[in-house]
């Protein structure tokens, strides 16, 4: 039996979840050795980090989730028509899958749903929820870091593959990294592939700072949890109380940045190395670039996509963009 045949599933069943390696200590040490200390953004999403991010999405200050959901709901028929019948849906960084449930319910005869997430507990919850909401839809959960090579060739057959990448995750990457990721997505969907991409648009610095440093302090807990994870998984000795969460807007690069700032001069040990922190020195943990629709379209064109659809809220805070693989369009 071929790999594809093995992964073909009966309604309501699920394929085995792939495993991934633990976070790369060498990468962590390298990033902490930079003049501007940093840590990989993906490390924010352990089980507790994923839970806290879901809470961030529910805060009044974080406009992204509710704005995107309103765009999706108001345009579902058009979005479903763009996706076309018989699609297999891939969602990198699936999380809770709340937006995806609405999309899948509106699609015509979806073949299967493949949620990808770095956190196995998130995939388990997603699988349980989807099996209740859409019990006849085959699920192919994949536990993987979607920024690295994963076995997309083993996904089941479908008329086409639709990649759904909502939220503002594409903004977490430097533009050249975002383009490389979009190119990888195009390879995963193939010559007839389509993509629906969530893009956070440029807006006032004050609005962005509130969204990334909410009044309830949940984003601060989310960011500081990264140090808790390093202490637990790599025997580091970060004093959590000696760091604080800060969000700053870089107007030149059109991005909001999250940092962990040292409250005092201190030494931290991890992986047999010692790192000195001056008072006020920061660890850069995340960036979120904000785009204009034309800018994102140009970025995607360079990755093998062709912009085809644009859905926005009336205030132009957020956009869902529909792309087709460039080779799919006839000249």
pLDDT tens profile 226-249: 999 999 999 999 999 999 999 999
Residue 255 has pLDDT above 80, yes or no: yes
State residue 81's pLDDT score.
97
Q: Is the pLDDT of residue 13 over 90?
A: no
Residue 119: predicted pLDDT: 78
Instruction: Tell me 148's DSSP state.
Output: S
Which pLDDT tens digit goes with each residue over 91-129? Answer: 998 876 778 999 999 999 999 999 998 878 888 888 888
DSSP code string of 218-239? HHHHHHHHHHHHHHHHH-----
- E strands present in the chain: 87-92, 112-117, 142-143, 160-165, 194-200, 243-250, 255-262, 266-270, 273-277, 282-289, 305-312, 318-325
Q: Which residue from 114, 174, 178, 123 is spatially nearest to 150, judged by alpha carbons?
A: 114
Q: Find the DSSP H helices in 144-266.
A: 175-189, 205-212, 218-234
Of residues 138 and 145, the one with the higher pLDDT is: 138
pLDDT above 50 for 173: yes
Residues 30-88 pLDDT 10s? 999 999 999 999 899 888 998 999 999 999 999 999 999 999 999 999 999 999 999 99
Indicate whether 169 pLDDT > 80.
yes
**Cross-strand bridge partners of residue 142:** 116
For residue 150, count other CB atoms closer than 10 A to its CB.
18
Cα-flanking dihedrals φ and ψ of residue 64, to 5°? -60, -55
Nearest to 105 by CA among 124, 122, 125, 130: 130
Using pLDDT thresholds of 50, 70 and 90, give the confidence band for residue 193: very high
- Give the residue among 45, 49, 26, 36 at the shortest CA–CA distance from 284: 36
Between CA 194 and CA 290 the distance in angstroms is 23
Distances (CA, A) of 236 to 1, 233, 269, 272: 46, 8, 6, 9
Average pLDDT, rounded, for the chain: 89
Q: Indicate whether 322 pLDDT > 50.
A: yes
Asked if 149 and 193 count as a contact pair (C-beta separation under 8 A), the reply is no
pLDDT(222) > 60: yes
Q: What is the pLDDT of residue 238?
A: 98
Least confidently predicted of 18-32, 109-123, 158-172 = 18-32
Residue 143 confidence (pLDDT): 87
277 phi, psi to nearest 5 deg: -120, 125
| Whether residue 7 has pLDDT greater than 60 | no
- In this structure, the strands spanning 305-312 and 282-289 are unpaired
Q: Which pLDDT belongs to residue 153? A: 77
The predicted-structure confidence for 46-61, as pLDDT tens digits, reads as follows 889 989 999 999 999 9
Q: Supply the pLDDT for residue 17.
A: 40
**Is residue 267 classed exposed, middle or buried when 0-12, 13-18 and 19+ CB atoms within 10 A define those classes?**
exposed
pLDDT score recorded for residue 126: 84
Residue 20 predicted with pLDDT over 50: no
| 15-41 average pLDDT score | 77
User: Is the confidence at residue 9, as pLDDT, over 90?
Assistant: no
**With bands split at pLDDT 50, 70 and 90, how would you rate the model's confidence at 132?**
confident
- ∠ CA 160-75-301, rounded to 5°: 50
- Closest by CA to 316, choosing from 207, 185, 195, 177, is 207
Q: What is the DSSP string of 91-141?
A: EET-TT-HHHHHHHHHSSS--EEEEEES-HHHHHHHHHHHHHHSTTS-B--
CA distance 327 to 118: 30
Residue 205: pLDDT above 70?
A: yes
Check if the beta carbon of residue 26 is closer than 8 Å to that of residue 184.
no
- Residue with the bigger pLDDT between 19 and 150: it is 150
| 37 and 284 Cβ atoms separated by less than 8 Å | yes
């Amino acid at each position: 039996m071929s790999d594809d045949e093995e992964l073909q599933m009966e309604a309501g069943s699920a394929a085995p979840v792939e495993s991934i390696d633990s976070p790369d200590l060498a990468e962590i040490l390298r990033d902490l050795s930079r003049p501007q200390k940093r840590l990989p953004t993906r490390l924010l999403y352990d089980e507790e980090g994923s839970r806290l991010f879901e809470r961030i999405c529910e805060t009044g200050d974080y406009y992204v989730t509710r704005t995107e959901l309103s765009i999706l709901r108001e345009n579902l028929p058009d979005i479903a028509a763009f996706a076309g019948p018989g699609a297999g849906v891939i969602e990198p960084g699936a999380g809770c899958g709340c937006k995806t449930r609405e999309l899948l319910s509106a699609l015509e005869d979806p073949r299967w749903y493949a949620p990808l997430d770095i956190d196995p507990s998130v995939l388990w919850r997603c699988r349980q929820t989807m099996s209740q909401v859409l019990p006849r839809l085959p699920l192919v959960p994949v536990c993987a870091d979607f920024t690295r090579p994963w076995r997309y060739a083993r996904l089941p057959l479908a008329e086409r593959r639709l990649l759904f990448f909502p939220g503002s995750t594409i903004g977490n990457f430097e533009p050249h990294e975002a383009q490389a990721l979009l190119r990888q997505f195009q390879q995963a969907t193939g010559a007839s592939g389509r993509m629906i991409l969530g893009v956070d648009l440029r807006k006032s610095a004050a609005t962005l700072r509130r969204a990334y440093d909410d009044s309830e302090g949940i984003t601060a807990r989310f960011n500081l949890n990264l140090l808790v994870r390093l202490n637990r998984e790599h025997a580091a000795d970060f004093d959590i109380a000696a760091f604080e969460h800060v969000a700053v807007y870089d107007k030149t690069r059109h991005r909001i940045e999250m940092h962990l700032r040292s409250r005092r001069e201190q030494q931290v040990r991890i992986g047999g190395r010692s790192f000195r922190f001056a008072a006020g020195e920061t660890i850069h943990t995340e960036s979120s670039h904000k785009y204009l629709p034309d800018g994102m379209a140009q970025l995607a064109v360079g990755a093998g996509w062709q912009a085809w659809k644009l859905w926005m809220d009336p205030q132009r805070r957020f956009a869902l963009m529909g792309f087709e693989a460039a080779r799919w369009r006839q000249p």
